[in-house]
Amino acid sequence: MDKRMDFPQIYADFYAKFPIAYLVTDRERWIYANERAVQLLKEESVADLIDKPVYQCLPGACELFSGNPVDFPLEFREKWLSKNGESIYLKFTGIPLVENPNYIQFFVNEIKRMEEEFSDLLEEMAAWLAHEILNPLTSVKGFLELMQRPDGEKREMYINIAKKEIEQIEQIVSQFILLRRPIQNKALTDLNRLMNETVSQLSGQGYFEKVHIAVSAIGPVEFYCEGSLIKEVFRNLLMNAIEAKATKISVQISAKEKGIDIKIADNGNGGAKSGWKKPGGSLNGRKGRKGGFESLIINRIITGHDGKIFFHKEKEAGSIVHIQLPHTFPPENLPGERKE
């Protein structure tokens, strides 16, 4: 028998136009959803929700299927992935239906996305900072102690290593500053030149000894931007390919009718699954929390220039990064306009 027929009509009528998203499950599948739930979850109709297995879309509701007693109200937060691939941060509050305790009513509210992302970010940063800053500081302290010893033959080597560790800390701090300050000091800049400069700098530091990189450029592609930040994006994306064990990297920068396209493809082993990720996403090669932080920096810079970034993992090997930027030019009356 269709379990939906057991759901009291008085509830269906009352919650149909309720301003809060309202869903009901028989602890296995959704058996009722009101119009607000359809809107909030970005579905096309009630039929798209009814009969969907609850455990597939709500890991936080796993207690309902454990067979163990459940303490109500059941409250949890969940990231819901809509049909169009958009993530929606939600708070679910579940209580049994009085007429039938096997039916669980869920009242659903959207959580402010920035609040949820900021909470996750703080957790990630705390662990990442402990590793990326405390480790260099420990090394510097150790080398300073070694320099105090009578044997001074390796003194210069210790100084050089300590300086590199301090430079690493400076770079980390400067990246944190990028998250706070607005995009400024814009100028009309040739992106092909920026990319070639980035490749040359990394090659000079010995990063491309075993990697062949080809930059395909036909003439200048000018973009109104803060050049140093865009160069930081290029650097991180190329380093990402190197750390993913790539031996070949190809770069294409082109101006099209709708905007500027930048594609960086490599044959490395980065990425967990094949297919395109939604705008934003995360780096494919960087390991652990470092990858998440670098992704945050890149996304901040690209979105700050009104652009979008996509990541793609090939089925066999290799990754593609696709950046879309709008055609932007400096206002004619911009004071101090310059061209880099």
| Banded model confidence at residue 264, pLDDT cuts 50, 70, 90 | very high
Q: Which residue has the higher pLDDT, 87 or 275?
A: 87
Of the listed ranges 57-66, 115-124, 311-320, the one predicted with least confidence: 115-124
In Å, what is the CA distance from 255 to each residue of 228, 280, 325, 328? 20, 21, 9, 11
Residue 321 pLDDT > 50, yes or no? yes
Q: Interior CA angle at 120 toward 265 and 19, to 5°?
A: 105
d(Cα 188, Cα 41) in Å, to the nearest integer? 42
Residue 3 pLDDT > 60, yes or no? no
Please give the average per-residue pLDDT across 158-169, as a whole number. 76
| Banded model confidence at residue 316, pLDDT cuts 50, 70, 90 | low
Q: And the tokens for 161?
A: 């290593």
Which pLDDT score is estimated for 132?
64
- pLDDT 10s digits, 198-228: 998 888 777 777 888 888 877 789 999 999 8
* Domain map (residue ranges) of the chain: 3-111, 115-180, 187-325
Which pLDDT score is estimated for 230?
92
Q: Which residue has the higher pLDDT, 291 or 251?
A: 251
187-325: CATH class:
alpha beta
Q: What whole-number percentage of the chain has pLDDT above 90? A: 17
Residue 285 pLDDT > 50, yes or no? no
Of the listed ranges 171-175, 203-207, 293-297, the one predicted with least confidence: 171-175
Which pLDDT score is estimated for 245?
84
Which pLDDT score is estimated for 296?
74
Residue 64 pLDDT > 90, yes or no? no
Q: At which residue do the structure tokens 């303490």 appear? A: 71
**Burial category of 22 from C-beta neighbours within 10 Å (exposed 0-12, middle 13-18, buried 19 and up):** buried
| Banded model confidence at residue 292, pLDDT cuts 50, 70, 90 | low
SS (H, E, C) the chain: CCHHHHCCHHHHHHHCCCCCEEEEECCCEEEEECHHHHHHCCCCCHHHCCCCEHHHHCHHHHHHHCCCCCCCCEEEEEEEECCCCCEEEEEEEEEECCCCCCCEEEEEEECCHHHHHHHHHHHHHHHHHHHHCHHHHHHHHHHHHHHCCCCCCCHHHHHHHHHHHHHHHHHHHHHHHHHHCCCCCCEEEEHHHHHHHHHHHHHHCCCCCCCEEEEECCCCCEEEECHHHHHHHHHHHHHHHHHCCCCEEEEEEEECCCCEEEEEEECCCCCCCCEECCCCCCCCCCCHHHHHHHHHHHHHHHHHCCCEEEEEECCCCCEEEEEEECCCCCCCCCCCCCEC
- pLDDT 10s digits, 69-88: 777 888 888 888 777 778 78
Please give the average per-residue pLDDT across 295-309, as a whole number. 85
d(Cα 233, Cα 193) in Å, to the nearest integer? 14
Please give the average per-residue pLDDT across 236-244, as a whole number. 86
The mean pLDDT value of the chain amounts to 77
Which pLDDT score is estimated for 106?
93
| Banded model confidence at residue 275, pLDDT cuts 50, 70, 90 | very low
Which pLDDT score is estimated for 210?
80
Best-predicted range by mean pLDDT (121-125, 141-145, 273-277, 289-293): 141-145
Query: Rounded to a whole number, what is the distance in angstroms from the first to the last CA of the chain?
Result: 72
Q: What whole-number percentage of the chain has pLDDT above 70? A: 72
- pLDDT 10s digits, 94-142: 898 888 888 999 999 887 654 555 555 555 565 566 566 666 777 777 7
Which pLDDT score is estimated for 11?
85
d(Cα 320, Cα 285) in Å, to the nearest integer? 11
Which pLDDT score is estimated for 24?
93
Residue 2 pLDDT > 90, yes or no? no
- Per CATH, the number for 115-180 is 1.10.287.130
Residue 191 pLDDT > 60, yes or no? yes
Which pLDDT score is estimated for 39?
92
Q: For domain 3-111, is the CATH number 3.30.450.20?
A: yes
